[in-house]
A = this chain, B = another copy of it.
Amino acid sequence: MMEILTRRQREIFNFLRANQARFPYPPSLDELCEALDMASRGSLHKHISALVNAGLVEPFNGNKQTGVRLTAQARVEAREGQGLPFVGAIAAGKPIEALETVGYMVVPEALKTNKPCYVLQVKGESMVEAGIFDGDWVVIEQRAYAQNGEIVVALIDNAEATLKYIQQSAGQVLLLPANAAMSALAYRPEQVQIQGVLVGQMRSYRSHANPVI
């Protein structure tokens, strides 16, 4: 009954799971062919049939319905992976490590990468000229290095975490605010630990919006 999936079948299932938000409506076999860069509807049908058999995709003519849609079970599984960890606010004098995961926040696909990401709330005015305001949420891709000019979460002297533009050169790391009222700070490379790079930003214009689920 519950046959084991082949590699390609699992590949297609993962594609469906990861991209269900891409399709406004359950995709037809033809549409899926294009999305998967396949030329033959018949070939794809073979795979989808296997997924139906495995209980991961709704059968077509069982319901009189067109389009490939995941079963409820498969969908729940997909949603668990949708939220990013929300680790609270980026507060001066407090390393990110000290921040626990407070909850999870659903973030649009376009605002994250396919690497591990987390969400921070911004405190302070240091990046206002970059369009990042006090209270905004930022999506951070977790990594320890950055390109010059990127906006990073940097931990300074293992004590203070800030969101700033970074400019690295031999023997010196510059952290540049986007605020004419503040000045750039220079550090030795060993003082600065990159905790992630900005990949997305969000703002609510409601007074008491609560992001966490």
Interface residues of A (CB under 8 A from B): 4, 6-7, 10-11, 14, 21-22, 24-26, 28, 63-67, 82-83, 101, 103-111, 113, 128, 131-133, 136-137, 151, 198-206, 209-213
Contact = CB atoms under 8 A, between A and B. Distances in A.
Number of identical protomers: 2
Contacts of A65: 4
Contacts of A210: 109-110
A109 B211 contact: yes
A10 B25 contact: yes
B131 A21 contact: no
A194 to B, nearest CB: 15
A155 to B, nearest CB: 20
Contacts of A151: 205
B110 A7 contact: no
Contact of A111 (B10, B22, B82, B209): B209
A109 B213 contact: yes
B200 A201 contact: no
A105 B108 contact: yes
